[in-house]
Structure 1
Amino acid sequence: MTEHDTATSPASADTTHAPQFTITRIFDAPRELVWRAWTEQADAAAWWHPRDIEIKPGSVDLDTREGGSYRYTMVAPDGSEYPTAGTYRELREPERLVMTWGSPGDDDDRVPVITITLRELDGGRTEMLFHLLGIDAAPGDDDVYDGWSSAFDMLDEHLAATAGGPSEVR
């Protein structure tokens, strides 16, 4: 597997100049399977975390409909907990998912927004464009960008186990 995540600077992404970044991945899995990984509780629990971080058992709750919410808690090796929550703003199965991303209790209008666009490719592959609006990050930050990139490695492994094949990262 080759890795080549792409970061988009705010100025090149759009004219709002809001902090943001984009990661593009190609998975060797059908689009419906990638969609399910984002929207089904058992699938999300398997990968919604960077490597070496775990999901607290029983903490994943998804109400996957427009206006519905989700929550989960990541647990670091030192026992630190990171509760995460958001609201689904748009679900256009199996191609587009828009949701907020913050901590429980955050004002949903003031937290970052994630947009996932899934494009079906030849050979049963899927291109995923992950765009996070509200945080400026780049590869090597050891924080948000690298955390999501690592989570997508976990997604790749989850999809390979589910679909039975390796993926390409770009």
Structure 2
Amino acid sequence: MTTEQRTTEGFSYTLERTLEAPVAAVWSAWTTAEPYAQWSHAVPGSVEMDVRPGGAWKATMVTPDGGQFPLTGSYSEVDENRRLVVGMDVPGKNEPAVMTVELAEQSAHQTRIVVAQTCGTAGERDLAEQGTTMLLGGLTAFLKTAN
């Protein structure tokens, strides 16, 4: 399910999925470097994560056409197995792009994930939503093979 809305601060999107995995497995996949690299289309060995408020992360992502681009950022909120607020550094901007990931147990083997982000323009929102859709697809496939 995807919802879109225009806020007074920018353009936002929210993506929601039900994943066939326990909350702890989803959290671990999103916050541990090696599994994250496997499902997020990152260059192997490029992911570093210090998952705590104020902790930094970095990864080099691979685009569908084979290009590579480095990403960096930090964590502003970490509530294990429930909520992760991630900032991503954006060249030329003073403030990071902020993505919120929320997890909720649906059953012992199902997790509801909600990912939301607000962007400055409709174009930025569309690109961010496309990237997040790819991330959720990769996470879904990874969790199917990991369980």
TM-score calculated relative to the size of structure 2: 0.86
Cα contact 2:86–2:99 (8 A) shared by 1: yes
RMSD: 2.2
Code of the residue aligned with 1:145 in structure 2: it is E
Which of 84, 104, 121 aligns to 2:106? It is: 121
Which of 14, 22, 25 aligns to 1:22? It is: 14
Cα distance 1:77–1:21, how it changes in 2: closer, same or farther (>3 A)? closer
2:4 aligned residue: 8
Cα contact 2:34–2:45 (8 A) shared by 1: no
2:119 aligned residue: 134
> Cα offset for 1:88?
0.5
- SS of aligned partner of 2:25: helix
Which of 33, 39, 51 aligns to 1:64? It is: 51
Q: Deviations over 1:76-107 (max 9, x none)?
A: 3655321111100010011000010235x776
Cα distance 1:125–1:81, how it changes in 2: closer, same or farther (>3 A)? same
Which of 104, 108, 133 aligns to 1:149? It is: 133
Structure with greater strand share of residues: 2
Cα distance 1:67–1:154, how it changes in 2: closer, same or farther (>3 A)? same
Cα contact 2:57–2:73 (8 A) shared by 1: yes
1:111 aligned residue: 96
Q: Deviations over 1:94-133 (max 9, x none)?
A: 1000010235x776x5121011110110252000000112
Matched residues in 1 for 2:61 and 2:89: separation? 13
The structure whose RCO (Cα within 8 Å, separation 6+) is larger is: 1
Aligned sequence identity (%) = 32
Cα distance 1:118–1:150, how it changes in 2: closer, same or farther (>3 A)? same
> Cα offset for 1:148?
1.4
Count of residue pairs brought into register by the alignment: 145
Q: Please list every run of at least 4 consecutive aligned residues from structure 1 whose deviation after the TM superposition is greater than 6 angstroms.
A: none
Matched residues in 2 for 1:102 and 1:81: separation? 16
Structure 1 gaps of 5+ residues are: 50-54, 164-170
